[in-house]
């Protein structure tokens, strides 16, 4: 048995106006996954807690995992920031390796994602998400952390380190996006309504095809399938329209708030872990061919970004795509731990 949800969702134009979610029960079937508005029904690798706080006049809940070290504790905390098509749960192997190495690990789902609240109206900004995350860490009594951000989480990690440098002992950026300003390079800027229309069409097949091509260098492993199931099941569930709406607002934030112009302002030790075959570029699918050809070259972007960040270290994973922590977890996590041990 699994919890299901019914909804009363009214849309005026393309804007969600009202949603009522009520719980019911039904027997599981062999059909495609369908998860609740806050990813109810999907299994996380560790217990999920909820941090309740007020933001923009709303009462919100931020889901997070807080995992104690399984090896000899080193007194350090690692904060893991997920990407746009990821959740705290997708850090599963990273959590295992870090806790074995003695780290306490905090892995939140940002507002609008996965097991966290999805507001009907919210002004998304990386400043706001960073402030939410700072509130979570303060609530947990954590004064300083190693911040590890992947993909969009790299954009957030950069903003967090710029806003709260004393709270960051080290910044690790894993194939972060925002290394180039897509709109300045000629990508047509989609409206929020256009993002919303696109997100309404998301399916397991479209997620799988995109991830195979971009995240895993054209390869596929059975263990990747549960992350397709996670995204597609959330979108296909009873919260479908509100999930798509929040996703559209978040894409607009990503597209319009590049961090590329501020890397030189970072004052914390920073390491870039870059899969060189990554081709991620938001809006690339709608860009003219000559613009598209210029975008998402991580073999170049990694080096350019390392040169912008004071005293940054660059480690490249040759031939790997957007998610090296999943593509080759043994090599990736060995490298990550080596970097964290550097003075």
User: Whole-angstrom Cα distance, residue 195 to residue 182?
Assistant: 15
Judged against a pLDDT cut of 60, whether residue 16 lies above it is answered with: no
Q: Calculate the average pLDDT of the chain.
A: 91
Q: What percent of the chain has pLDDT over 90?
A: 87
Per-residue pLDDT at 328 exceeds 70: yes
What would the mean pLDDT of 216-235 be, rounded to a whole number?
94
The interaxial angle of helices 204-214 and 225-236, nearest 10 deg, is 140
- Dump pLDDT digits (tens) for 185-200: 999 999 999 999 999 9
pLDDT of residue 341: 94
| Rounded (10°) angle between helices 225-236 and 240-256 | 110
DSSP string for residues in 175-231: S-S-SS-TTTTT-----HHHHHHHHHT--HHHHHHHHHHHTSTT---GGGHHHHHHH
Residue 193: how many CA atoms within 13 Å on its side-chain side? 5
Per-residue tokens: 32: 């495609």
Q: 34-91, pLDDT tens digit by residue?
A: 999 999 999 999 999 999 999 999 999 999 999 999 999 999 999 999 999 999 999 9
- How much is the pLDDT for 321? 95
CA 18-21-22 angle, to 5 degrees, is 145
The whole-angstrom separation of Cα 9 and Cα 239 is 9
Assign 298 to helix, strand or coil.
helix
């Amino acid at each position: 048995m699994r919890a299901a949800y019914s909804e009363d969702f009214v849309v005026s134009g393309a804007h969600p106006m009202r949603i009522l979610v009520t719980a019911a029960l039904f027997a599981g079937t062999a059909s495609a996954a369908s998860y609740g508005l806050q990813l109810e029904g999907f299994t996380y690798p560790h217990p999920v807690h909820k941090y309740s706080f007020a933001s923009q006049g709303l009462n919100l809940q931020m889901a997070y995992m807080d995992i104690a070290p399984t090896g000899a504790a080193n007194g350090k905390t690692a904060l893991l920031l997920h990407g746009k098509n990821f959740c705290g749960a997708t850090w599963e192997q990273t959590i295992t390796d870090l806790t074995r190495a003695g780290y306490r690990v905090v892995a939140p789902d940002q507002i609008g994602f996965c097991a966290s609240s999805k507001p009907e109206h919210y002004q998304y900004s990386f400043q706001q998400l960073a402030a939410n995350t700072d509130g979570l860490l303060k609530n947990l009594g954590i004064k300083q952390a190693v911040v590890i951000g992947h993909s969009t989480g790299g954009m957030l990690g950069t903003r967090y380190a710029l806003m709260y440098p004393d709270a960051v002992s080290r910044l690790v950026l894993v194939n972060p996006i925002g290394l180039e300003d897509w709109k300045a390079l000629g990508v047509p800027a989609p409206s929020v309504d256009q993002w919303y229309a696109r997100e309404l069409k998301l399916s397991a097949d479209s997620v799988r095809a995109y991830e195979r091509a971009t995240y895993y260098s054209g390869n596929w492993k059975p263990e990747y399938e549960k992350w397709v199931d996670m995204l597609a099941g959330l979108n296909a569930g009873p919260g479908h329209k509100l999930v798509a709406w929040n996703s559209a607002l978040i894409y607009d934030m990503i597209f319009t708030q590049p961090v590329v112009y501020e890397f030189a302002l970072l004052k914390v030790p920073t390491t870039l872990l870059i899969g060189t075959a990554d081709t991620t570029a938001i809006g690339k699918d709608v860009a003219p061919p000559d613009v598209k050809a210029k975008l998402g070259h991580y073999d170049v972007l990694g080096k350019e970004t390392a040169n912008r960040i004071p005293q940054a270290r660059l480690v490249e994973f040759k031939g790997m795509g957007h998610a090296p922590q999943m593509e080759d977890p043994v090599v990736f996590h060995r490298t990550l731990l080596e970097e964290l041990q550097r003075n």
